[in-house]
């Protein structure tokens, strides 16, 4: 038997995703979700979580690639934002800026991350778990400024960089291993493995007994109203976990 966390990403992005995540909790397809505090429907998402009894399972989905920032200075940085001030995802799409950014850019990123963290805590949400949109927290240029803030605000758990792969290049393996070790050395709770439904399916059950696996899903509705993980029916995710005799659990307690 393995233990499984099923996290619904992108809570707060829009009203349709909010509703899909609400229904996913209702049907026990997911155990947790993470909130995009800078997106238009974040307040609605928190209200839904409270009304439906899953506010204790809401972490923060750090976002540096979509929508508008909460702070002003980063809007002037062209590797991060368009002329209208919205995030452009440029830095995340280029390897160099995922590894290294300027001192000025780092300060702008630090201000934006801290603003998002502070807004998350302003909602009174207790989970103190962080992951991110497009996995930006796993980029070394972001993690350099993020790590002190995670410690300052006493986060308890952080998502691993994706490591649920059948095959992986040596360079990726070294980077990912180093990142995940750093999280554990700094005292953060983590899963043993992290990946998508497709990653988990490709493993063909080849996961060590007792391992804790986080499965990332993106609940949304298809054109026919089906509740999907992007294009895969959410029930398929649940059925795969059942076939692995997975015990569902929230991020806490580990």
SS (H, E, C) 76-92: HCCCCECCCCCECCCHH
- Rounded Cα–Cα distance for residues 76 and 60 (Å): 25
- Give Dmax (Cα) for the chain: 51
- In this prediction, residue 103 carries a pLDDT of 97
Instruction: Please state, rounded to an integer, the average pLDDT across all residues of the chain.
Output: 95
- In this prediction, residue 200 carries a pLDDT of 95
pTM as predicted: 0.95
Exposure string for 81-119, b = 16+ CB within 10 A, e = fewer: beeeeebbbebbeeeebbeebeeebeebbbbbbbbbbee
CA angle 54, 161, 31 (to 5 degrees): 20
Mean pLDDT, residues 25-32 taken together: 97
Residue 194 confidence (pLDDT) above 90: yes
pLDDT class for 252, splitting at 50, 70, 90?
low
Q: Please, are residues 15 and 226 in contact by the beta-carbon 8 Å criterion?
A: no
Catalogue all structural domains in the chain, each as residue range(s) with its CATH number: 3-248 (3.20.20.370)
Mean pLDDT, residues 109-129 taken together: 97
The residues, ordered by sequence, that sit 6+ positions from 197 with a Cβ below 8 Å of its Cβ are 215, 217, 229, 232, 236, 237, 240
């Amino acid at each position: 038997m393995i233990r499984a966390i099923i996290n619904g990403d992108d809570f707060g992005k829009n009203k349709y995703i909010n509703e899909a995540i609400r229904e996913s909790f209702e049907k026990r397809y997911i155990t947790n979700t993470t909130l995009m505090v800078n997106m238009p429907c974040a307040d609605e998402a928190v209200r839904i979580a409270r009304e439906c009894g899953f506010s204790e399972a809401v972490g923060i989905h750090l976002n540096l690639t979509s929508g508008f920032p909460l702070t002003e200075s980063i809007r002037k940085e062209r590797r991060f934002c368009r002329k209208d001030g919205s995030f452009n995802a440029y830095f995340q799409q280029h390897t160099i800026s995922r590894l290294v950014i300027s001192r000025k850019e780092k300060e702008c990123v630090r201000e934006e991350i801290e603003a998002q963290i502070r807004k998350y805590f302003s909602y009174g949400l207790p989970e103190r778990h962080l992951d991110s949109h497009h996995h930006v927290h796993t980029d070394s240029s972001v993690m350099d400024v993020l790590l002190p803030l995670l410690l300052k605000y006493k986060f308890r758990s952080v998502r691993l960089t994706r490591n649920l792969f059948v095959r992986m290049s040596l360079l990726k393996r070294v980077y990912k291993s180093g990142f995940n070790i750093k999280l554990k050395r700094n005292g953060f709770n983590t899963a043993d493995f992290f990946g998508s439904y497709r990653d988990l399916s490709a493993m063909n059950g080849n996961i060590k007994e007792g391992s804790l696996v986080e499965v990332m899903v993106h609940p949304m509705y298809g054109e026919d109203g089906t509740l999907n993980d992007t294009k895969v029916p959410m029930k398929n995710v649940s059925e795969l976990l059942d076939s692995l005799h997975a015990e569902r659990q929230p991020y806490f307690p580990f």
